Each structure stands twice: as C-alpha cells, then as structure tokens.
Copies of this chain bind each other. A is one copy, B any other.
Amino acid sequence: MRADAQRNAVKLREAAADLFQERGLQVSLKEIARRAGVSHGTLYNLFGSREALIDEVIADLAATRLSAAAARALASEDAWAGFAGYLTEVCELQATDPALGDVLTRRFPDASRLMAVCDNSYAATEAIIARAHQDGSLRPDFTASDLLFFLASHAPLARATAATGSDAWRRQITFMLDGLRAPTAVMVEVAALSPEEINRLLIQES
C-alpha cells in the first residue's frame, strides 16, 4: 500500500469513527469522505463497503466496552447487582454513543468481526442472566433474547433523550428492574420529562 493511501485510510477511519459515534452507523459514506477531506471514490476504493469500514472502526471499540461491562457484571458478588449493573451500563453506552447503540440494535451481517463481537456479547449476557437465575434473584422466564429486545427498543429514545442532556431514560431502567407494582417499587430519583420535552424528542426523532 502506498504511503498516500495509508494516510487517506487513516483520515477516513478517523472521520468514520467521529461520525459513527456522533450520529450512528447509518451516516452516509459520502459524508464520511467529505469530513475526511477525500473523494468518496477513495473511500469505496479503500474500504469497499460500509460494513468493512464499520468492522475496522467500531468492532474493537465495541468489544472493549461491552466485554468490560460483562466482566464487571460477572465479577460482582451479588448476581442481581451484576445483572442490574450490566443492564444499566449497556444502556448508558447506548445513550451516550450512537455507534454502540446501533451495534446492539442493528445488524450488519457482512461485518464479520462485529458480528463476532455481538455473538460474544450475547453469550456474556446469557451467562450473566444464568447466574442471576441460579440465585433466584431474576425471574426465571427472562432470557437473553428478552434483554436484547429491551435494549433494541430502548436505544433510539435513550439516544434522543441523552442528546438533549436529559437522564430521563434512566427512569425506564428503574421501572424495568423494579416493576410498576407499588408493593415492590423503589422510587426513581430522576425527574420525568415534561410533555413539551417529550414532544420535542419525538419530533426530532426521525
């Protein structure tokens, strides 16, 4: 590989990392090239597809963060605390980093490394859940697939909420963990969104 191509690849990776984390994994490739100060033809030449670019730019990052969260969960003394902490942590990632939200929420079958990350992550959640099942703290009918479903549905709004600087998405986590029935409920500490705030969120949520 020639030196200039090397440099361009670096510039493109940086631009892609920035834009992926700012706006998610769906940003247009032409825009990435634009931000990198390079023709979009070059991007196609060097990477060939969005999946390949994602794989190079996001897979390691995602693996690091997700496995750290999983490791913390499994290291926890209390299986329930480990599970609850994991759920919370992953939601924090989703809320603050659109790219990571998309990693869990979208699928890119041709990004093989990223797919491996997803598989590992799924296996880790199964272990975390199994541990909490074993000590009886987690309802036995809750599965890793349920967790993924929750994460996927939660991601877009959490992202949009966090983008406004609000923490309101944490309320949903609390509800999910505690349940809505008063007898077992623990009070949430974060303030609810006002109707106006929610309206604004929903409008800008494309």
Contact = CB atoms under 8 A, between A and B. Distances in A.
B153 A107 contact: no
Nearest to A184: B184
A100 to B, nearest CB: 15
**In the complex, which of the residues A161, A179, A188, A199 has the most CB atoms of chain B within 10 Å of its own CB atom?**
A179
**In the complex, which of the residues A144, A154, A181, A205 has the most CB atoms of chain B within 10 Å of its own CB atom?**
A181
Interface residues of A, number: 55
Nearest to A139: B185
A172 B185 contact: no
Given A109-B203, A141-B187, A150-B172, A179 B182 contact: no
A8 interface: no
Interface in A119-158: 122, 136-146, 148-150, 152-154, 156-158
Interface string A68-97: 000000000000100000000000000000
Nearest to A143: B192
A61 interface: no
A27 interface: no
Contacts of A176: 175-176, 179-180
Contact of A184 (B137, B183, B187): B183
Interface string A18-31: 00000000000000
A51 interface: no
The 9 closest A-B pairs by CB, nearest first: A179-B179, A139-B185, A153-B157, A107-B203, A143-B192, A107-B202, A184-B184, A145-B192, A139-B182
26 contacts: A105-B202, A106-B202, A137-B181, A137-B182, A138-B180, A138-B181, A139-B180, A139-B181, A139-B187, A140-B182, A142-B180, A144-B195, A145-B193, A145-B195, A145-B198, A146-B171, A146-B175, A149-B161, A150-B175, A152-B202, A153-B153, A153-B156, A153-B172, A175-B176, A181-B184, A183-B184
